Structure 1
Amino acid sequence: MSGASPARARPSVWRRVLLRLLFTLALPAVLVGAWWVASDGSTDVYWPPLRTILKAFPDVWTAERLRADVRPSLLRLLGGYATATVVGVALGSVIGSYRRVRAVCEPVLEFLRAVPPPVLVPVVMLFAGIGDTMKVVVIASGCVWPVLLNTVEGVRAVDPVVAEAARSYGITGVARLRRVVLPSASPQIFAGLRQALSIGIILMVISEMFAASNGLGFTIVQFQRGFAVADMWTGILVLGLLGFVLSLLFQVVERRMLGWYHGLRASTRRSP
C-alpha cells in the first residue's frame, strides 16, 4: 500500500506544474492574441501590426546587438541592485535593531524616499560623470529604499520570544544577527528585493537615456529618433521579456532561500 503512494503522488505533482504553467501563460497568450487582432489592419506608422514587429525582431536583436546593448544593461542593473541590497540590508538591520537610531533616521529616510530617483539623474551626473558609475548609482539610489524599509520592518517584527531565547543562550552580536534576526526578517527582506527589482529595471532604462552610448534605453531612444518604429517596439518587447525572465529567476532563488517559510505557511494552511 505504501509503495503505491509515490506513483499516485507523481501525477498530482505534474498536474500542479502543468496547471501553474497554464495559468502563467494564459493571460500573456490572450494579450498577444488581442494585440495581433487589434493591430492587424493598422496603417498608423506609430502603431505597426504585431506581425511586422515580430518579423523585424530577429533582424534587430542579433547576437552582436545582444552583446553590445543587453549585456551592458544587465551588468549595470546587477551592480546597482547588488549595491542597494548590501546597503539596504546593512542599514536596515542597524536602524531596525536600535530604537534611538530609528527615531533619528526615520524623518530623513521619509524625506529621501519621497524624492523620485529619476530626478536625481542630473545631480548624480555632476558628481559621477556620464559613465557606467552614474547609471549604477542611479539604479542603486532607487532600489535601496524598498530593501531598506522592508528590512527595518522585518527586524522590528522579530518574535520577542525568539529574541529572548537567543539572549538566554548567549547568542549576541554578529551571531544573533546572522542566526536570529536576518532569518526571521528574510521574508520581509525578500519582499523588498522583489519591489526593488522592478524599480531597478525602470531606472536602468531611464539612466541609459542620458549621455549613453549603449544599453537598452539608449537603443530604444535611437530607434525612436530615427523613426524606426517597428525596431523601437522590438526593444520594448526585449525589455518585457527581460523583466519576465528576471522575475522567474528571482522566484527560484526566493523559493530556495525561503523554503522553510513557504513550507511553514503550507503546513499552516493544511492544518484544521
Structure 2
Amino acid sequence: MIRVARQVGLIVGLPAVIFTAWWLATADSENFYFPPLSAILEAFGEVWTGRRLADDVLPSVARLAVGYLAALALGVGLGVVIGSYRRVRAATEPVLEFLRAIPPPVLVPVIMLFAGIGDGMKVLVIVCGCIWPILLNTVEGVRAVDGVLAEATRSYGIRGFGRLRHLVLGSASPQIFAGARQALSIGIILMVISEMFAASNGLGFAIVQFQRTFAISEMWSGILLLGLLGFTLSLVLRAVEARALAWYHGLRRTQRSS
C-alpha cells in the first residue's frame, strides 16, 4: 500500500505543483493573451464537455489510434525482417537513414496531393512519423538477441512462429516498447499538425479556430486538453508495458538486489 501511494504521489505530485504555481502566477492576470487559470478551466468545462467532445476530440483520438497502431504493426513487422537478415539490413539502412531524416510535418503538403484532405491523409501523416522510432528500435532489439539463446532454440527444434514469438519478439520487446513510447508523443504532435491543414474538425482545427477568433481562454483550454490526453495515453502505455514486460522488470530487480 505504501509503495502504491508513493507511485501515485510521484505521478501526480509534479503536475499538482505546476498547476498550483500556474494558478497563483496568473490569479490577478489582466493580460489578454495569458488569462487566469481559473478562466481557462471554466472555458475547458464549457467547451470540451459538450458538442465538441464528439465533433473534435473523438475524431482526433480515432485518427491517432488508427495511425499509431498501423505504425506499430508496420514498424515491428519490418523491423523483425530487417533485423533478422544481414543482407536486407545492409541494403535498406541507407534508405532508412535518409527517410528518417525528413521531418514528418514537411510531408503533409506532399501527402495531401495524392491522399486528399480527408481522414486518410491525417492517418498517413501519423504513420509516417510514428513508424521510425518503432522500426529502428525493433531492428536493434532483434540484432541484440542473445546468441546462446538462439543456439538453444535451434538445439531444441524451436522454429517458425514459436521462435519468432518466444525468442525474437521476447528479446526485442524492451526496445520495441521504448520505440513505442517515443512514437506516441510524435503521433500526438502529428495529429495536431495534420488537423491544422484543410481540416473541418479535430483538436488541431479547433485550437486554430479559437486562435483566429481571439477566443484565448478556449485556445488555452484546447492546449491543456492535449496535455491531459498525452498524459493519459502515456499512463495507458505504461500499464500495458508493465504487464507485457513483467518478466523483464522482475529480472532487472533481481539483478540489482543480487
For this structure pair, what is the TM-score category when the shorter chain's length is used for normalisation?
over 0.9
1:196 corresponds in structure 2 to 183
Report runs of 4+ in structure 1 exceeding 6 Å deviation.
none
1:237 corresponds in structure 2 to 224
Please report how far the alpha carbon of residue 170 of structure 1 lies from its aligned counterpart in structure 2 after TM superposition. 2.0
Per-residue deviation, residues 227-246 of structure 1 (Å, max 9, x unmatched): 00000000011101101110
Paired amino acid for 1:164: E
Structural mapping, 1:93-104, within 5 Å: 93-104=80-91
After TM superposition, the structure 1 stretch with the greater mean CA deviation from structure 2, 222-231 or 36-45, is 36-45
Cα RMSD of the aligned pairs, angstroms, is: 0.9
Structural mapping, 1:1-272, within 5 Å: 14-271=1-258
Per-residue deviation, residues 153-177 of structure 1 (Å, max 9, x unmatched): 0000000000011111222233321
Please report how far the alpha carbon of residue 59 of structure 1 lies from its aligned counterpart in structure 2 after TM superposition. 1.0
Per-residue deviation, residues 13-49 of structure 1 (Å, max 9, x unmatched): x101111111211111111111112112221111111
Please report how far the alpha carbon of residue 76 of structure 1 lies from its aligned counterpart in structure 2 after TM superposition. 0.3
Aligned-partner Cα distance in 2 for 1:23–1:116: 34
Aligned-partner Cα distance in 1 for 2:145–2:10: 35
Q: Alignment partner of 2:200: what SS? A: coil
Per-residue deviation, residues 50-87 of structure 1 (Å, max 9, x unmatched): 11111222111123211111110011001110110111
Per-residue deviation, residues 130-182 of structure 1 (Å, max 9, x unmatched): 00000000000000000000000000000000001111122223332122101
Aligned-partner Cα distance in 1 for 2:12–2:73: 34
Residue ranges of structure 1 left out of the alignment (5+ in a row): 1-13
Aligned-partner Cα distance in 2 for 1:51–1:63: 19
Aligned-partner Cα distance in 1 for 2:179–2:62: 21
Please report how far the alpha carbon of residue 91 of structure 1 lies from its aligned counterpart in structure 2 after TM superposition. 0.6
Residue ranges of structure 2 left out of the alignment (5+ in a row): none
Aligned-partner Cα distance in 2 for 1:98–1:23: 43
Aligned-partner Cα distance in 1 for 2:50–2:183: 29
Paired amino acid for 1:65: R
Aligned-partner Cα distance in 2 for 1:93–1:196: 17
Q: Alignment partner of 2:184: what SS? A: helix
Aligned-partner Cα distance in 2 for 1:86–1:25: 32
Per-residue deviation, residues 88-139 of structure 1 (Å, max 9, x unmatched): 0011001100111111111100000000000000000011100000000000
Q: Alignment partner of 1:188: what SS? A: helix
Paired amino acid for 2:119: D
Paired amino acid for 1:104: A
